[in-house]
Amino acid sequence: MTGSRRLPLLLLPAGIFVLAVYVWPTLLLLRNAFNEVGPTGAMVEAWSLKTATETFADGFTIELTLNSLQLSLSATAIALALSYPLSLFLFRTDSRFRGLLAVIAILPMLISGVVRVFGWLAILGDRGLVNTLLQSLGLISAPIKLVFNWTGVTIGLAESIMPYMILALLAGFGQLDRTLEEASRSLGASPLRTFWRVTLPLSLPAIVLAAGLGFVLSMSAYITPKLLGGGRVFVLATEIFEQATTNTNWPVAAVLAIYTLGLLLLLLVVSNLLARGLKR
Amino acid sequence: MSYLELAGLQKRYGGSVAVDDVSLSVEKGESVALLGPSGCGKTTTLRMLAGLIQPDRGTIRVDDVEITRLAAHKRNMGYVFQSYALFPHLTVSRNVAFGLEERGIGKAEIARQVEEGLALVRLDGLGGRRPRELSGGQQQRVALARALVIHPSVLLLDESLSNLDAKLRDTMRHEIRSIQRSLGITTLFVTHDQVEALTMCDRIAVMNRGRIAQIGTAEDIYERPATRFVAEFVGRANALPATRDTEGKVVLWGAAHPVAAPPQGAFDLFVRPQRMRIVSASEPTGGETVRVTGRVLRSVFVGDHVEVLVEGAGGQLAVEMPSGTTAPTEGAEVAVIWQAKDSLPFACEAA
Ligand SMILES: Nc1ncnc2c1ncn2[C@@H]1O[C@H](COP(=O)(O)OP(=O)(O)OP(=O)(O)O)[C@@H](O)[C@H]1O
Ligand SMILES: [Mg+2]
């Protein structure tokens, strides 16, 4: 009784915080989206859809959207392919070091995005670890371009979302029970068949959850595409920043921001529905 | 050579020994219970049999073929897990069909056998449900059907009835027993419930600390326990501290008895409460009868019998009288008698 009556009170600080730093700015953003830009480039207060229609009529917006989607898709796919086996191992190991291993796996989360990018530059740059190694082995004569292009951004993004996906996978593996895999083997299914028939289907909700999260994080990532893209990779997030700062074109930035937000919400809803449907 | 042969099985986990030395021979079609206290190594033994863990030592042979190192999925053992382990993402039918599908049997044949399997455990018509839409007892039967349809060479049941209520458990016991008998399936049945072991199995292997303490029919184990542990663990027993006189006869509660005492060391006399009778203190007794006298502390009606607690010179003992007989009143002076052959002396465990 008292618990449920006190609950709203407990939510108050968080509620105020969210209201102040999230809801209010979002409303401002929404307001800005209806403003117009005058011929001088200055913002003109208005209630019109002119900025929105112009932005969506622009082919560049479509291109940005496709870029964002494609980049997020490949980053998520790579991150999933790496973090799924890793999480499965972490989930099941009896090792004493399990806790430590899990912490190590999600450690990159604690490192600033900028620092991480410089790490990647040191590894993937023209004189970085990979190219030096390949050249000294005589496998290549000239360095291959691994940064300041799509490849670099994809690698960097995949790495940055992995810790989150590992956490989501570990949390989602609830239904996975080793006894079920033992039952499968005792019924004559080889380890591979057991994975295919029991492990994979039962971890599908976790996969959908993690993939949804990774995708959303990739879509909204700014630092990695900006810095590892070297000005050659254009996605929604970089464009919004560009419009808001370099161009000081607030209305367009606002329209693009709200458009991106809508896309993300849609994705979250779809992945949630999918995950819930799978659990049933 | 018997159908199933376990020889010198051992399994260690780090420094501790889960199964120390288990050897067991089971005939084809026979049902053997592994009975023992918690942690004595029953599940570990079963898991080694199923190939889910590897023994550190010893061999397993089925039908004269050694399978000690064979992968679990090639063993054809039907394992019914304590937690049922039904696949939550598959319907009841698909659960039962699982093993058959892995064997590459045709669709129509699988459908027929699944139907048959579900009928066997009396679950016809529930094939379309998901496991969590079933009661505990129904889930249990699905697990049983799933293990049975693959025609296992050995059926392994791990405390498979412990999650059920008393009545359902009783029904399931008889169902499993009759299925096992009619299909002639060699069965190992793990339990720590004696009644289960007694009603479900041809023979009982009593386990203690990773070893088999005694193996035999229910009667063997109950009437002629080989060790003190077996006497204590199976059925109820009064453990009466006793001494020996100069002739080597047992002295109990200050009176000599016509029972030979072990040659040395402290020992207790084990007597089943059902084998004891209460007579009036004045009644004389014959030669092969042990007799002690005491005072009735209390009588408790327990449904199918009356338990009478008697206190005498050397302590207390419990007597089970069939209900319906009039129990002696509290405080009455009585004699407790039993046949000398029902006294089992066992040495006290070294402290
Ligand atoms: N994976 C494991 N790692 C370490 N010790 C284990 C492991 N599995 C079992 N043991 C130990 O081995 C011993 C035997 O375990 P087992 O599960 O075979 O007991 P059990 O006879 O089935 O008991 P219960 O009736 O409680 O199920 C126990 O002391 C247990 O702690
Ligand atoms: Mg057990």
Higher pLDDT, B248 or A131: A131
Residue B5 has pLDDT above 50, yes or no: yes
Question: What single letter denotes the amino acid at residue A90?
Answer: L
Specify the 3-state DSSP secondary structure of A66: helix
Higher pLDDT, A124 or B254: A124
E strands in chain A: 36-37, 43-44
Tell me the best of B11, B13, B189, B194 to mutate to test the pocket of ligand 1, counting ligand atoms within 8 Å of each CB and taking the most: B13
What number of residues does chain B have? 351
As to burial, measured by CB atoms within 10 angstroms (0-12 exposed, 13-18 middle, 19+ buried), residue A187 is: buried
Q: Could you give all domains of chain B from N- to C-terminal order, each with its CATH number?
A: 4-232 (3.40.50.300), 236-347 (2.40.50.140)
Interchain CB distance below 8 Å, A182 and B81? yes
| Angle, helix A200-220 to helix A236-244, in steps of 10 degrees | 20
Instruction: Enumerate the residues of chain B whose CB falls inside 8 A of the CB of residue A182.
Output: 50, 52, 72, 79, 81, 85
Question: What single letter denotes the amino acid at residue B122?
Answer: R
- Residues pairing with B211 in the sheet: B21, B208
- Per-residue burial over A235-254, b = 16 or more CB atoms within 10 Å of its CB, e = otherwise: bbbbbbbbbbeeeebbbbbb
d(CA A165, CA A152) in angstroms, rounded, equals: 20
pLDDT of residue A164: 94
Average model confidence (pLDDT) for chain A? Answer: 89
Residue A157 has pLDDT above 50, yes or no: yes
Q: What distance in angstroms lies between residue B32's CA and the mean position of ligand 1's atoms?
A: 20
Name the CATH superfamily, with its identifier, for domain A63-93+101-109+161-279: MetI-like (1.10.3720.10)
pLDDT band at A280 (very low <50, low <70, confident <90, very high): low
pLDDT of residue A156: 94
- Residues pairing with B292 in the sheet: B336
- Per-residue burial over B208-241, b = 16 or more CB atoms within 10 Å of its CB, e = otherwise: bebbbbbbbebeebbeebeebbbbbbbbebbbbe
Residue-wise pLDDT for A187-201, tens only, equals 999 999 999 999 999
d(CA B266, CA A252) in angstroms, rounded, equals: 97
| Atom of ligand 1 at shortest range from CA of B14 | 4
Q: Where are the alpha helices (DSSP H) in chain B?
A: 42-50, 92-102, 107-120, 136-148, 166-183, 194-200, 218-223, 228-233
Instruction: Enumerate the residues of chain B whose CB falls inside 8 A of the CB of residue A193.
Output: 73, 102
How many other CB atoms are found less than 10 A from the CB of residue A15?
Answer: 12
Interchain CB distance below 8 Å, A190 and B73? yes
Residue A4 has pLDDT above 60, yes or no: no
Nearest to B173, CA basis, from B185, B184, B160, B182:
B160
Q: Which two tokens stand for residue B59?
A: 């061999």
pLDDT band at A1 (very low <50, low <70, confident <90, very high): very low
Interchain CB distance below 8 Å, B98 and A184? yes
**Which of B51, B52, B99 lies closest to A187 in CB terms?**
B99
pLDDT of residue B185: 93
Q: Which residues contact B25 (CB under 8 A, 6 or more apart)?
A: B2, B4, B5, B6
Residue-wise pLDDT for A202-261, tens only, equals 999 899 989 999 999 999 999 999 999 988 889 999 999 999 888 888 899 999 999 999
Ligand 1 pocket at CB < 6 A:
B 13, 18, 36, 38-44, 192
Dihedral of the CA atoms A168, A170, A172, A176 (nearest 10)? Answer: 160
d(CA A225, CA A234) in angstroms, rounded, equals: 8
pLDDT of residue B293: 86
| Domain residue ranges in chain A | 63-93+101-109+161-279
Average model confidence (pLDDT) for chain B? Answer: 89
pLDDT of residue B95: 97
pLDDT of residue A87: 94
φ, ψ for residue B350, nearest 5 deg: -60, 130
d(CA B232, CA B237) in angstroms, rounded, equals: 6
pLDDT of residue B70: 95
Specify the 3-state DSSP secondary structure of A127: coil
Specify the 3-state DSSP secondary structure of B51: coil
Return the top range by mean pLDDT from A100-114, B44-58, B189-203. Answer: B44-58
DSSP state of B90: S
- Residues pairing with A199 in the sheet: none
Instruction: Enumerate the residues of chain A whose CB falls inside 8 A of the CB of residue B110.
Output: none
Average confidence (pLDDT) over B208-220 = 93
Average confidence (pLDDT) over B301-313 = 85
Residue B351 has pLDDT above 50, yes or no: no
d(CA A172, CA A199) in angstroms, rounded, equals: 13
Interchain CB distance below 8 Å, B73 and A197? no
**Which of B51, B52, B98 lies closest to A187 in CB terms?**
B98
Q: What distance in angstroms lies between residue A212's CA and the mean position of ligand 1's atoms?
A: 40
pLDDT of residue A279: 66
Task: Give the number of whichever ligand sits closest to the CA of residue B207.
Answer: 1
φ, ψ for residue B168, nearest 5 deg: -60, -40
Q: Which two tokens stand for residue B133?
A: 């839409």
B81 vs A: CB within 8 A:
yes
Interchain CB distance below 8 Å, B73 and A185? yes
Question: What single letter denotes the amino acid at residue A257?
Answer: A
Q: What distance in angstroms lies between residue B42's CA and the mean position of ligand 2's atoms?
A: 6
Q: Which residues contact B86 (CB under 8 A, 6 or more apart)?
A: A183, B95, B131, B139, B142, B143, B146
Whether the Cβ atoms of residue A259 and residue A192 lie closer than 8 Å to each other: no
Taking CA atoms only, the protein residue closest to ligand 1 atom 26 is B38
Whether the Cβ atoms of residue A154 and residue A162 lie closer than 8 Å to each other: no
Nearest to B319, CA basis, from B253, B236, B258:
B236
pLDDT of residue A71: 96
Which value, in Å, is the radius of gyration of the alpha carbons in chain A? 23
ipTM of the complex, rounded to two decimals: 0.83
Nearest Cα of chain B lies from the Cα of A75 at a distance, in angstroms, of 30
Whether the Cβ atoms of residue B245 and residue B256 lie closer than 8 Å to each other: yes
Taking CA atoms only, the protein residue closest to ligand 1 atom 18 is B41
Instruction: Lowest mean pLDDT of A43-52, B109-118, B214-223, B276-285, name the range.
Output: B276-285
